[in-house]
Chains A and B, each alone.
Chain A
Amino acid sequence: MHHVTEETIEPRVAAGSSHPPRVRVGIPAPAVDEPIEHPAIEVRKLSLWYGPKRALGEIDLKIAAKKITSLIGPSGCGKSTLLRSINRMNELIPRVRTEGEVIVDGVNIYDRRVDPVVVRRSIGMVFQKPNPFPKTIYENVAFGARINGYGGSMDELVERSLRQAALWDEVKDDLKKKSGLALSGGQQQRLCIARALATSPDVILMDEPCSALDPIATQRIEDLMVELAREYTIVIVTHNMQQAARVADRTAFMLAGDDLVGRLVEYGLTDQIFTSPRDSRTEAYITGRFG
């Protein structure tokens, strides 16, 4: 008896049309991921409960600085919950309880002495659906800086943020005339990115930022992410494996077991996750056998 199962699966993975396209063909995939020496974020034994229901089970994850890290997994695996734990957004939901640590800049943000309001200033977030405020474009960008007592020139900050979000040229003529809601979906999402940049964060969390956008707008946001990763640490949740393969340096695969608790299954360089996953569940997911 040979290893029948492995032999039958292997060729399908290699030749299957569901295999995600690889973008960075030039870079040879290293066989082993080098350890992350100075992680921007370190998640340690993080667990979370919605009331009596446990949603995350002891997640350990180191996120590299100025890289793009993607969280993938089927719906209900806790990837958005994990993302929202990194800037303590989950606490806005009643009866949520968190255990474990998230270390940012050497500080555990779940320390009792740390105020979530301060945490969120330095960890920006972009949401699934663009959610600009019903204010002018200018006021949308200036909002976070205003409430956080920004001391510099507001006009300059707004312009820089919009330039960084690649939106400046499209909106510079009606900054103070047009409502953020009057922009197209893709523009709204870039406005939300500009808005997050204006509070000068170190980390930007993106929760399926392209799921409400058309392919062209998606392409622009993806380009923008790669651009922004030169200066910012980016963590993105996506259900789109091609997107993870295109933009992310590292990818974490999460899965909820029969107990519905989301756990980290496999974490590594994106190329390694997509070409030679170590866990059979990761392989099953990326080849589209469930999810």
Chain B
Amino acid sequence: MQQAPTAGELPKLLRRDRMRDLRERAIGAALLTAAAVGALTTAGIILSLAGETIRFFGQVPIVDFFTETEWTPLFSIQKFGVWPLVSATVLTSAIALLLAVPVGLIAAIYLSEFATLHVRSLFKPMLEVLAGVPTVVYGFFALTVITPFLQGFVPGLSTFNALSAGFVMGVMIIPLVASLSEDALSAVPVSLREGAYAMGATRFEVATRVVFPAAISGVIASIILALSRAVGETMIVAIAAGMNPILSFDPRVPIETMTAYIVQISLGDTPYGSLSYLTIFAVGSTLFFMTFLMNVLSFWVVRRFREVYD
């Protein structure tokens, strides 16, 4: 080490190129800055929601928000109980999941365990087209096609209702459940399937009693993500479920979800800083918090219950 030649003695070719070092470092710094935008976005979401939400709770007691059962911020007698909006979100999401979970899971098992490679490579991308249709188009479909259709079967079904909004939302999230669950099922090692077949199991038994339980963490995660998507879905419910904030679990009547309320206020001429302007942030915070919890839960499920095969 002591005998290492000083820079002056080094042949010019081996010497560090100062300009090149500088350029490399500048590029590294620029890339890091870009990567930081993601973190800034999260910070921006939390700060913007939190700021206006705190101002809202400065005017409306937080207890009222979570205990009142009426939501009438646009009436002369204002009530700020969030439950009518939450119940509507729960209702439409539940209807969506009631359709999407069985259909999506059956499709996933079929594609992963029964379909030939050829059929799977044909069907999977076709299903994924469903997920690429803009939600405003689904809203149109729910209002102008599904509701009139269902009115032939369901007596007392209003023009705006939770049923057709939830149904179409279910159609939208079928590919999400099917695709993510299919990934989880396909990731189960072939050796487990062979082990089961070698004991005289049929294809159906291998799929339902060995592969499906082995993939359960991925399947549950896909359902949670589907639920999170349903809760945050906006245009379908804003168009087809109504803007009528009542606390009801009747799927035939108009209701108003959290997201639909934000749309309703945004469409109106709400003065900046007014109480009704602040309500959308309180509702938005509630929505963000709910979906955030679900996303974290799905991560946790995957990590906690994943089987480790070597």
Interface residues of A (CB under 8 A from B): 87, 89, 92, 94, 117-122, 124-125, 127, 129, 131-135, 143-144, 147-148, 181, 192, 195-196, 199
Contact = CB atoms under 8 A, between A and B. Distances in A.
Contact of B214 (A134, A195, A199): A134
A121 B191 contact: no
A176 to B, nearest CB: 16
A148 B196 CA distance: 12
B303 interface: no
B210 interface: yes
Contacts of B191: 127, 129, 131
A120 B195 contact: no
A250 B301 CA distance: 51
Interface in B102-117: 116-117
B197 A89 contact: yes
| Interface of B: prevailing SS | helix
A283 B30 CA distance: 67
Nearest to A119: B200
B204 to A, nearest CB: 10
A199 B42 CA distance: 56
Contact of A92 (B189, B194, B200, B307): B194
Contacts, number: 73
B213 A147 contact: no
Contacts of A124: 198-199
A147 B117 contact: no
B114 to A, nearest CB: 13
B189 A134 contact: no
Contacts of A143: 196, 199, 201, 209-210
Given A134-B214, A144-B201, A147-B205, 12 more contacts: A89-B194, A89-B197, A94-B116, A94-B117, A122-B200, A127-B195, A127-B198, A132-B195, A133-B196, A147-B201, A148-B199, A196-B198
A192 to B, nearest CB: 7
Interface of B: 116-117, 189, 191-202, 205, 209-210, 213-214, 307-309
Contact of B199 (A92, A181, A199): A199
B210 A118 contact: no
A92 B209 contact: no
A134 B213 CA distance: 8
A78 to B, nearest CB: 18
Contacts of B199: 120-121, 124, 143-144, 147-148, 195-196, 199
A94 B307 CA distance: 28
Given A94-B116, A131-B191, A134-B214, A147 B197 contact: no
A134 B184 CA distance: 14
Contact of A120 (B192, B197, B307): B197
Contact of B200 (A127, A144, A192): A144
A117 B201 contact: yes
14 contacts: A122-B200, A127-B194, A127-B195, A131-B191, A131-B192, A133-B195, A133-B213, A134-B214, A143-B196, A143-B201, A143-B210, A144-B201, A147-B209, A199-B199
A182 to B, nearest CB: 10
Given A131-B189, A131-B191, A134-B307, A118 B200 contact: yes
B69 to A, nearest CB: 45
B24 to A, nearest CB: 46
B220 to A, nearest CB: 14
Contacts of A127: 191, 194-195, 198
Given A181-B308, A199-B199, A133 B192 contact: yes
Nearest to B307: A134
A196 B202 CA distance: 16
A118 B213 CA distance: 24
Nearest to B214: A134
A155 B116 CA distance: 39
